[in-house]
Amino acid sequence: MPQTWQPKPPTPSPSYSTGWLGWARKNLFSSPGNALLTLLSLAVLLATLPSMLRWGLWDATWLGDSRKVCDSAAQDGSAGACWVFIKVRLEVFLYGFYPEAQRWRVNFTLALLGLAALPILAPTLLRGTLRQTLFALAAALLMLATFGMPCAIFTACYLLLPLALPPLVRQRPFLELFAGRLAGVSAGLFLTALAATLLYFAAGQAGGGGAAGPIAVTGAILVVFLIFVGRLTASAWRWILLFTVYPLAGFFLLVGEVFGLPLVETHFWGGLFLTLVVAGTGMATALPIGILLALGRRSTLPVIKTLCVFFIEFVRGVPLVSVLFMASVMFPLFLPENVTFDKLLRALVGIAFFYAAYMAEVIRGGLQAIPKGQFEAAMALGWPYWKMMALIIMPQTLRLVIPGLANNVLSLLKDTTLVAVIGLLDLLGVAKASMADTEWLGFTKEAYIFAALVFWVFCFAISRYSVYLEKTYHTSQHYN
């Protein structure tokens, strides 16, 4: 008769000194060397921090609306910062030379982006149809209060559409209802053309005039997705809208000449707004192109592989400034005389492709880390290449390369300041231009510090967000 064996019960771990004292002993004074470094750091902080705070906060001039306030303060002997300068020029810092009466369009476009992106960026926050519907209605009310009826209606439509489409398009894609692929494609094209034409005329009848174009394009995009993709989840629709309808809406809102909005040409754009436009479109276009380049570089098709390798290596070999110069100075020389592209557009394309090459290499690094077995398992289950990449390989890859991509996104955001070399005035450009203002000479420190702070806030938010993403996905991520 064997004895009964029982595993030993677990015991609590030995207790060391806890609390803040324990923490300080462990982290600040764990060895003589460490203690010395701690004291040294304290000394440096004591030597620098008080004077910085005195200049930037206590002695600074906050109130007033002209240079005189700061000058008189300086004569009193308190030589603090003159934040009045920033306050007076704030609108220019934010919007550049966008006409004052039209600045609400910028605000609305950015607010809409925030509202459109929130359910995507923080999926855990808005789980469930009810919460999402309430969110859409609350957002619409907010827009009604801030921007008025048309904006509220547009916001409500935009946010409710992804919720309304899945139950409406419950069936298989329309494409599959037609026998044979060719019939499906031609039917799809026909229906798209029909829908576009109908929308065009409907909008024309409604007296929108210039509105017909954007509405027709938006409608046509939706029809294409309904025909070729069909049954999709709300979050998939949200992505589709963000990458199709939102950019169009944003473009027409900001440029104008439709819906009775006056035209604002891009050389009026500037400040933080321009920085965000360049960075935002840069990120949104560089990532998909980067994914395609990374896949292309790993392709077994020699032509595609060579092209991708050539492109990536070429772009990585030249500085961004030279790409921007090429885009703004050289590129027009190759075009026929009557063909011109907007300068901002050329810069955007240059930046997108430049960063796409870097992101491609980051993503390729992630692809190398995916075990070969993942591809084999997917293929053995009958997954075709693109579906496998989209649903099995890329979700894993992108999670792996979050830190690398965050790096790229941050440096993209900061590199937008380089558009200054082709005469576009982003936040830093506007700051520099303001320093040159004869009325406000001598406040360079304030302008630079303000610009740096704004950049820091955005970059810090992005880096915190990347940490949040890593945490969200790694709780569900268990590689062996």
Partner 1 sequence: MTTPAPAATTARQAIITITGVNKWYNEFHVLKDINLEVGRGEKLVICGPSGSGKSTLIRCINRLEVHQQGRIVVDGIELTNDVKRIDQVRRETGMLFQNFNLFPHLTVLENLTLSPVWIRKMPLKEAQELAFHYLERVKIPDLAHKFPGQCSGGQQQRVAIARCLCMNPKIMLFDEPTSALDPEMIKEVLDVMIDLASSGMTMLCVTHEMGFARTVADRVVFMDSGEIVEENDPQTFFNHPKFDRTAAFLSQILNH
178 binds partner 1 (CB under 8 A): no
Q: Determine the Cα–Cα distance for residues 196 and 219; give it in Å rounded to an integer.
A: 7
Q: Which of residues 217-276 bind partner 1 (CB under 8 A)?
A: none
381 binds partner 1 (CB under 8 A): yes
**426 strand-pairing partners:** 271
Answer for which of 55, 178, 383, 468 binds partner 1 (CB under 8 A) is 383
Answer for which of 371, 403, 423, 442 binds partner 1 (CB under 8 A) is 371
Q: How far is the CB of 83 from partner 1 (least distance, A)?
A: 48
Tell me the C-alpha to C-alpha distance, in Å, between residue 129 and each of 118, 231, 406, 442: 15, 17, 30, 55
- Closest to 161 measured CA to CA, from 224, 227, 246: 246
Q: How far is the CB of 389 from partner 1 (least distance, A)?
A: 12
479 binds partner 1 (CB under 8 A): yes
480 binds partner 1 (CB under 8 A): yes
- Closest to 406 measured CA to CA, from 443, 364, 354, 461: 461
Q: Between 202 and 304, name the residue whose CB sits nearer to partner 1.
A: 304
Q: Report the phi/psi class of residue 479: left, alpha or beta, with left for phi > 0 and alpha for psi in -120 to 50.
A: beta
If one counts every other C-beta atom within 10 angstroms of the C-beta of residue 260, the result is 11
Tell me the two tokens of residue 74.
Answer: 């300086």
177 binds partner 1 (CB under 8 A): no
The letter for the amino acid at 237 is: W
379 binds partner 1 (CB under 8 A): yes
Q: Determine the Cα–Cα distance for residues 312 and 356; give it in Å rounded to an integer.
A: 8
DSSP letter, residue 257: S
Tokens 């677990």, located at residue: 10
Answer for which of 107, 374, 463, 472 binds partner 1 (CB under 8 A) is 374
Candidates 69-77, 250-258, 343-351, 389-397; binding stretch for partner 1 (CB under 8 A): 389-397
Candidates 25-33, 49-57, 321-329, 384-392; binding stretch for partner 1 (CB under 8 A): 384-392
471 binds partner 1 (CB under 8 A): no
The set of residues, in sequence order, having a beta carbon less than 8 Å from that of 401 and lying 6+ positions away, is: 362, 363, 365, 366
Q: Between 183 and 390, name the residue whose CB sits nearer to partner 1.
A: 390
If one counts every other C-beta atom within 10 angstroms of the C-beta of residue 297, the result is 21
DSSP letter, residue 125: T
Answer for which of 46, 380, 386, 471 binds partner 1 (CB under 8 A) is 380
Q: Between 20 and 386, name the residue whose CB sits nearer to partner 1.
A: 386
128 binds partner 1 (CB under 8 A): no
Q: Between 6 and 480, name the residue whose CB sits nearer to partner 1.
A: 480
477 binds partner 1 (CB under 8 A): yes
Q: Determine the Cα–Cα distance for residues 90 and 88; give it in Å rounded to an integer.
A: 6
Contact 192, 227 (CB under 8 A): yes
CA atoms within 13 A on the CB side of 263: 5
Q: Between 31 and 475, name the residue whose CB sits nearer to partner 1.
A: 475
469 binds partner 1 (CB under 8 A): no
Answer for which of 3, 31, 124, 476 binds partner 1 (CB under 8 A) is 476
Q: How far is the CB of 176 from partner 1 (least distance, A)?
A: 8
373 binds partner 1 (CB under 8 A): yes
Tell me the C-alpha to C-alpha distance, in Å, between residue 451 and each of 26, 103, 138, 426, 459: 38, 20, 33, 10, 12
Candidates 37-45, 103-111, 213-221, 388-396; binding stretch for partner 1 (CB under 8 A): 388-396
Tell me the two tokens of residue 438.
Answer: 């004869």
Q: How far is the CB of 400 from partner 1 (least distance, A)?
A: 10
Max CA pair span of the chain: 101
Candidates 119-127, 329-337, 381-389, 407-415; binding stretch for partner 1 (CB under 8 A): 381-389
Candidates 31-39, 110-118, 315-323, 378-386; binding stretch for partner 1 (CB under 8 A): 378-386
The letter for the amino acid at 155 is: T
Answer for which of 33, 337, 384, 386 binds partner 1 (CB under 8 A) is 384
Candidates 236-244, 299-307, 394-402, 459-467; binding stretch for partner 1 (CB under 8 A): 394-402
Q: Between 18 and 480, name the residue whose CB sits nearer to partner 1.
A: 480
Contact 120, 242 (CB under 8 A): yes
369 binds partner 1 (CB under 8 A): no
* CB environment 122-142: b (16+ within 10 A), e (fewer): eeeebeeeeebeebbeebbee
Answer for which of 395, 403, 423, 442 binds partner 1 (CB under 8 A) is 395
Q: Determine the Cα–Cα distance for residues 199 and 436; give it in Å rounded to an integer.
A: 50
164 binds partner 1 (CB under 8 A): no
Q: Determine the Cα–Cα distance for residues 274 and 96; give it in Å rounded to an integer.
A: 8
Tokens 């053309």, located at residue: 193
SS3 13: coil
Q: Between 180 and 336, name the residue whose CB sits nearer to partner 1.
A: 180
Q: Between 18 and 476, name the residue whose CB sits nearer to partner 1.
A: 476
205 binds partner 1 (CB under 8 A): no
Q: Which of residues 398-417 bind partner 1 (CB under 8 A)?
A: 399
Kindly list the residues in this chain that would bind partner 1 in the complex (CB under 8 A). Answer: 172, 371, 373-374, 376-384, 387, 391-392, 395-396, 399, 473, 476-480
